[in-house]
Amino acid sequence: MVPFYERRLEFNLSSFAMKLVSLQRFIKIVSMLNSGIQTSIEVLKALIRIPSFSREEAAAADFLQNHIEAQGMTTERKGNNIWCLSPLFDVQKPSILLNSHIDTIKPVSGWKRDPFTPSQENGKIYGLGSNDAGGSIVTLLHVFLHLCRTQQPYNLIYLASCEEEISGQGGIESVLPGLPPIAFAIVGEPTEMQPAIAEKGLLVIDVTATGHAGHAARNEGDNAVYKALNDIVWFRDYRFEQESPLLGAVGMNVTQINAGTQHNVIPDRCTFVVDVRSNEWYSNEELFAQIQQHIVCEAKARSFRLHSSHISVEHPFVQRAIRLGRKPFGSSTLSDQALMPFTSVKIGPGCSSRSHTADEYMLVQEMEEAVVLYLQLLDKLVLS
């Protein structure tokens, strides 16, 4: 039996040693941060200078690929997607994917600056795509380059994908089948470094009502607009049963409508479009099947591929995030998570409300905090 005072000493020593280890780790992170954040800033600025609208990301992908290879890494490429496996890749270990996108939307009206000339003022880096998702691209790369050279209980894969803003088929979807099995993914998007643990999916439906044309003056024909009306009212009023604490109810909105050729012809065709945002309780296929049972017009889903997603709060990554003071939330905006058939969390520097706006910017401080937090979240993370 160890005497009480010795046990206490032992305890104090081990607690001291633990503090020392975490202090050493902290110092290491801070010194690495100081040396590396400047590089991340320069890479971000370089990316801002290269226009990279969806499907036009070749030059940005070239630049990023060259930059990663200059760090001594081997890259792979498909179209304008660039990825890179940790050099210590071990098939026995699970793999974590670090992903963000290099494409941007076209600049909205209202920019007072040149969207393609990065400028740094008061700790802000202005430029198109700085917030969505340049900050995530460069900070995740920074974290990848650091962690992939250390011993971790997992493999890392870094993937800078294209065509995200249009959910294009040449984007992440074309790359995933060729990657090693992924156990978990981090999707870098501006969330103020809060973890989105659920994300709404998207289902777009084209609906067609068919009637018979006739002369309006003689009240002939069968009016397709009136046929469409009942279904439009149904879409407005129907509520799916399962509501989600994170994502709320399934949302349905009729967003476009078309009918008629001239004032005196009863229209024989009326088409409208419905935008459906799914929560994690329903697959797009289930929603579509239910919708078809309720409406009389002919419905066609454009695709079922943009799924809602959800990860358990019990997941080790989410648990670690909570311990670090992060607040899990549900996100209504779509990301590449929709195309991932494995669990994922969306978390990144910047703020969603600054995306797709004029004079978009990223704070240097947000990038610094992101690097520290990504490292704290990932270093020695055990997935099971």
Residues that bind Zn ion (CB under 5 A): 132-133, 189
Token pair listed for 255 = 């967003």
Least separation, in Å, of the C-beta of 132 and Zn ion? 4
Kindly state the tokens that stand for 154.
Answer: 């997992």
How far is Cα 286 from Cα 265, in angstroms, rounded to an integer?
38
Which residues does residue 158 pair with via DSSP β-bridges, in sequence order?
A: 84, 98
Smallest gap, in angstroms, from Cβ of residue 351 to Zn ion?
Answer: 12
**Which of 227/346 has CB closer to Zn ion?**
346
In 10 A of CB 21, how many CB atoms? 10
Report, in Å, the least distance between residue 68 CB and Zn ion.
Answer: 20
Q: How far is the CB of 348 from Zn ion (least distance, A)?
A: 9
Which of 172/270 has CB closer to Zn ion?
172
**Residue 296 Cβ vs Zn ion, minimum distance, rounded to whole Å:** 38
For Zn ion, the closer CB: 197 or 205: 197
| Of 75 and 161, CB closest to Zn ion | 161
Which residue, 133 or 156, has its beta carbon nearer to Zn ion? 133
d(CA 156, CA 373): 17
Strand ranges (E), the chain: 76-78, 81-85, 95-101, 119-121, 124-126, 155-161, 184-187, 196-199, 201-210, 214-215, 251-259, 265-266, 269-278, 298-301, 309-310, 329-331, 344-346, 361-363
Answer yes or no: are the C-beta atoms of 118 and 44 closer than 8 Å: yes
Name the minimum Å distance from CB 217 to Zn ion: 53
| Least distance from Zn ion to the Cβ atom of residue 166, Å | 11
Q: Are strands 196-199 and 214-215 parallel, antiparallel or unpaired?
A: unpaired
CA angle, 193 then 195 then 197, to 5°: 160
Question: Whose Cβ is closer to Zn ion: residue 133's or residue 364's?
Answer: 133
By beta-carbon proximity to Zn ion, the closer residue of 279 and 352 is: 352
